[in-house]
Structure 1
């Protein structure tokens, strides 16, 4: 308890002391990653607000989006756009401003910067330039969804956005399935666009099996927040009948303790793959996913295709 109290006192300095501390480092410049709300504007922290009021420049993905947050909190600061298309070109200029003593903050449109958002290459360059760097934590959709999912919270792996095309998605999922065969046992987390959700769930079911436990979190922290927890099969049925809207996070539970492949499992995955792929491609995909010899899987795929 004594340690907790001392930590609290360190982070509860009067505002004047915080300002003096900020002024003491301003001569050397500082880069600050600031988390922003993922939907509910009230989730913006007091420390984040104070930091933006003292910073010289705010880098953001879309100035129109960030302007709404600044207006809600009465913050006036010079904004500049940094996104995936200009991040590399802006890096040298931004480092120069930091070396001149500027305090520069970076936000993404929503949530924690760098996670599925621009800024990593810039941040890495700033670290290599030995410029002071810190972060102000806050909202994060992936971790919020994980805590609400009912799936094991650790270990977990955040994978970002899956590829938009089905074949590329399946290839990525197959790699993860192979990692599970090698011992990976973690809850997997992705973000996804609503119009691609059902197709993504179908690809997950193809590679990981219809009965795998999963969850879909939607509109987190907002009025219509929803978390659907079920098997992949049931989630596909639900979102096929009820098209999703809003920001979406998909979570896949870890494999069961015993993940042995039965003949029924093999047939089920092959039949699903054969709906859209040739016998050769279906056999190759499923063989990689379930870690069986391609020759055996190909023979079974031939038999199933003849019985259609």
Structure 2
């Protein structure tokens, strides 16, 4: 008589195999924020954003340790600065867990690291790319602060440059931190300006991809500062649906213009023109991206651009403008 053991073992394996075939579902925003945020007045929300407020709730018991380990690994990868060389330190951060931002921050980190010779001097923070749980530290206010502090430790503020790319939903008070139903907070222009000032980071290229992100431009402008926003302070930007690969701004500026060996100002001009074309096609209210380039920016930008790769790379992902064709 034949043994039924192999057949029984095969049956026992079926549930596990089926479970493995289930597609990953990224975090979704299905619950309201905590009462301390939901019941706040606009003035109180602005005050919270000025403080870099972050609220976590209903996290698993092991979450804090796992996040600590992810952040420690990320911060430990930075190479030291090179004396006599203008080094760029890139920080690319997705502050919302919708996969569009995770995908955008990942690719932006790669594009900016390649363009500005910052491989080994780049940190990327963000949630899932939609395919699997994220191995990265989350893009939270606290992790942003830790990353800036670490970059300040290894860079020479008299010689090197911070390249900061942030992508998220935005509001008139700043950029929003929202990790599923568990993480909440915001960062205001005043808060970001205070952090950069505390670390004496004056040489900086700051790119803010979010609705209303023009609020960041005046407070962060300065002689050695270049600041670019996806929208004016009273306008929305577009393309931030969770299923997209890029926002309009990220696609036009990072995925297309900054991949080419052209000067920063030319890249921004080309990106703004392309965004305007897309918005016209979709009959959308113009987002009016903003910019400020300080009078001393060329002192650090010129040597960085002299080392730019001479060959462009191809855009990746689904074009953001394709979202206009969605039902």
Q: TM-score range by the shorter chain?
A: under 0.3
Larger RCO (alpha carbons 8 Å, 6+ apart): 2
Computing the radius of gyration from Cα coordinates, the structure with the larger value is 1
Q: TM-score under structure 2 normalisation?
A: 0.24
Higher helix share: 1
